[in-house]
């Protein structure tokens, strides 16, 4: 297999409503796609980097730049030795930029699997044909607005609610949701690093709500701080931003900083590394679930395949297309009895809808 050209596409996909986290608010999903042209066919991937370097240091135009200037030329240098498995070793010299690396690896993997008639699910080792869906609920201006939103998602059939929290939007909203929807609701929170080591008493107050987990309460580099917090509170601590590789996952588990892991393939450099984290966690008895970066269908399809691996035992942020988009870039993923079907076709199993993609495209750049 050989990489002949890559089209980098910048899309602006409108969201149905603003999505606010402790890091900021987005109303448009601004994203870069990698469209790989190989001698055996084409492949697609959505790069998870946000418009701003707020979730991590990566952002979409930087991802496009590092892909164009370094990663795509490096993959082209592999000549006919190109495989998806060869991408990470070839890019190993370059520090960081894991979302950009993941996008290139995923696009090449999509081409490779389409050519061999293999689905992502089969390649990754999936054992399920559908996966339970949770939904991530942004920070709202008012409590009534939050209640109405949660009620709507429960009516849709979502099996688990994740509330975004930050200082000033934590105890009260969590209490209200727990009291209103009862003790059986699967409920968790995500702080996106909004707290510090000085906030442990505040976070301990959430123990009374029997949450499934608290996700990334403090700074991503502070793994020891998370271990200290995990000793201090009863709510299980789940790391997201901190876990950037299987090695970090192994260490974080060993020091007790995380008893559940949110796996996002983009954050860790791709699906191959994501499976390694799944395996490390499985051996350690640590459950995992699949996170999300507001992906359109192109990114969501591959995440659903990953979420079908055996140690993904908690509902993921793998929501239906309608959670975010009036119009998705692929055939929409729909919620049926709280679950979403894992794509079965070759590669990611879905195709971009040309006229929709054209409508949302801001710019394209060919790298040859």
Catalytic member of 164, 175, 204, 368 = 164
- In angstroms, the first-to-last Cα distance of the chain is 16
Residue nearest to Mg ion (CB): 240
What span, in angstroms and rounded, lies between the C-alpha atoms of 19 and 51?
A: 14
x/- letters, 190..229, toward Mg ion (CB under 5 A)? x------------------------x--------------
60, 223, 345 from 30: Cα distances, Å: 8, 30, 27
- Based on the shown chain and the rule CB under 6 A, indicate whether residue 292 belongs to the binding site for ligand SMG: yes
Residue 155: how many CB atoms within 10 A of its CB? Answer: 8
Catalytic member of 16, 264, 276, 368 = 264
Instruction: Select 3 or 350, whichever has its Cβ closest to ligand SMG.
Output: 350
User: Is 5 strand, coil or helix?
Assistant: strand
- Based on the shown chain and the rule CB under 5 A, indicate whether residue 240 belongs to the binding site for Mg ion: yes
Tokens 């994740």 locate to 162
In sequence order, the β-bridge partners of residue 187 are 161
- Based on the shown chain and the rule CB under 5 A, indicate whether residue 58 belongs to the binding site for Mg ion: no
Mark whether 130 is an active-site residue.
no
Asked if 215 and 262 touch (Cβ cutoff 8 Å), the reply is yes
x/- letters, 245..284, toward ligand SMG (CB under 6 A)? ----------------------------------------
Mark whether 164 is an active-site residue.
yes
- Inter-axis angle of helices 271-284 and 84-91, nearest 10: 90
The partner in contact with residue 136, picked from Mg ion, ligand SMG, none with C-beta cut-offs of 5 to 8 angstroms by kind, is ligand SMG
Instruction: Write out the binding residues for ligand SMG, residues 186-225 only, by CB under 6 A.
Output: 190, 192
133, 141, 146, 218, 251 from 16: Cα distances, Å: 19, 17, 16, 29, 39
Residues annotated as catalytic (active site), given as ranges: 164, 264
Which residues form the interface with ligand SMG (CB under 6 A)? 21, 26, 50, 55, 136, 190, 192, 240, 291-294, 317, 319
Residues at the site binding Mg ion, with contacts judged by CB under 5 A: 190, 215, 240
């Amino acid at each position: 297999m050989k990489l002949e050209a890559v089209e980098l596409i910048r899309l602006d996909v409108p969201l149905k409503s603003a999505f606010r986290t402790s890091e900021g608010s987005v109303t448009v999903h601004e994203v870069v796609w990698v469209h790989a042209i190989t001698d055996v066919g084409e492949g697609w991937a959505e790069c998870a980097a946000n418009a701003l370097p707020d979730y991590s240091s990566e952002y979409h135009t930087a991802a496009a730049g590092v892909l164009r200037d370094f990663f795509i030329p490096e993959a082209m240098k592999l000549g006919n030795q190109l495989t998806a498995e060869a991408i990470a070793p070839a890019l190993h010299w370059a520090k960081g930029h894991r979302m950009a690396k993941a996008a290139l690896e995923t696009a090449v993997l999509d081409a490779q699997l389409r050519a061999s008639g293999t689905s992502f699910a089969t390649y990754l080792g999936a054992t399920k044909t559908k996966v339970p869906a949770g939904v991530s609920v942004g920070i709202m201006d008012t409590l009534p607005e939050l209640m109405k939103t949660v009620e709507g998602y429960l009516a849709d059939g979502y099996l688990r609610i994740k509330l975004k929290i930050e200082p000033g939007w934590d105890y009260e909203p969590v209490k209200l949701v727990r009291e209103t929807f009862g003790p059986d609701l699967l409920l968790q929170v995500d702080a996106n690093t909004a707290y510090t080591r000085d906030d442990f008493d505040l976070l301990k107050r959430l123990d009374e709500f029997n949450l499934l987990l608290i996700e990334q309460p403090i700074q991503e580099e502070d793994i020891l701080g998370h271990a200290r917090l995990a000793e201090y509170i009863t709510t299980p601590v789940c790391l997201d931003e901190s876990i950037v590789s299987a090695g970090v996952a192994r260490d974080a588990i060993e020091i007790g900083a995380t008893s559940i892991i949110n796996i996002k393939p983009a954050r860790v450099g791709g699906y191959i590394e994501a499976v390694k984290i799944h395996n490390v966690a499985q051996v350690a008895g640590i459950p995992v679930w699949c996170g999300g970066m507001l992906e359109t269908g192109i990114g969501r399809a591959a995440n659903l395949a990953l979420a079908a691996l055996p140690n993904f035992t908690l509902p993921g942020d793998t929501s239906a297309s309608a959670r975010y988009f009036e119009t998705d870039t692929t055939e929409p993923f729909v919620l049926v009895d709280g679950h979403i079907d894992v794509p079965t076709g070759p590669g990611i199993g879905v195709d971009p809808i040309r006229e929709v993609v054209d409508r949302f495209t801001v710019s394209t750049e060919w790298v040859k």
